[in-house]
Chain A
Amino acid sequence: TQLLEQSPQFLSIQEGENLTVYCNSSSVFSSLQWYRQEPGEGPVLLVTVVTGGEVKKLKRLTFQFGDARKDSSLHITAAQPGDTGLYLCAGGNTNAGKSTFGDGTTLTVKP
């Protein structure tokens, strides 16, 4: 079983601060996704990374896939209250019918 560990589990910061959350595994994944989930709703995809060392930017969010494709990070610059939510990483492998989700990081951005 491939496991994904996310850290920190909870993060509470003030508006305008920067933050990084991590997704780590001892297993290699062919691709990794980050999702954001708001209370009472299902997760929504933010990004998919597939190449070791790949960096993708989505406005104030920067995603990086580790060189060995075992880990990933999500960095948010100048966090805003609208960034509040549960951030989930999910790893998968080609030809596998299922993916593995991490336990999530709950982010609260206070105005």
Chain B
Amino acid sequence: DAGITQSPRHKVTETGTPVTLRCHQTENHRYMYWYRQDPGHGLRLIHYSYGVKDTDKGEVSDGYSVSRSKTEDFLLTLESATSSQTSVYFCAISEYPSLAGANNEQFFGPGTRLTVL
């Protein structure tokens, strides 16, 4: 299994509080991704990173920010959590740009279940 860990695995917080989720990898992969998964919506990309300090927005980036100061860590921050951000958050890594070719693969972490009350 690819070495990806997410912390915390579960979190309950209140509306308006800041929340930071951490993704840590031991594979030295260049590309890292944050997705959210909600019933009926599959996986939706929030932000991704193509290198240290290099990040870009995904399709649902409003209300989220990210940082990558080291190859191995990718942080997702909710500056002021809202109930609509209750979801399961997955981090993923890949060696090449996603789906760049036949041998590329995204490896996913175990997920973080976030509940915003």
Contact = CB atoms under 8 A, between A and B. Distances in A.
Contact of B42 (A45, A50, A102): A102
Contact of A97 (B56, B101, B110): B56
Contact of B100 (A1, A32, A44, A92): A92
Nearest to A93: B99
Interface in B21-41: 31, 33, 35, 40-41
A43 B108 CA distance: 6
Contacts of B43: 43, 88, 90, 101
Contacts, number: 84
B111 A40 contact: yes
What DSSP secondary structure best describes chain A's contact surface? loop
Contacts of B40: 9, 103
Nearest to B44: A101
Interface residues of B, number: 30
A97 B48 contact: yes
A104 B39 CA distance: 9
Interface in A71-111: 88, 90-99, 101-104
Interface in A15-58: 29-33, 40-45, 48, 50
B98 A98 contact: yes
B19 interface: no
Given A40-B111, A97-B48, A92 B98 contact: yes
Most buried by A among B31, B43, B44, B111: B43
Nearest first, the 9 A-B pairs at minimum CB distance are A92-B99, A42-B108, A103-B42, A101-B43, A99-B98, A101-B42, A99-B99, A45-B105, A50-B102
Interface of B: 31, 33, 35, 40-45, 48, 50, 56, 58-59, 90, 92, 97-106, 108-111
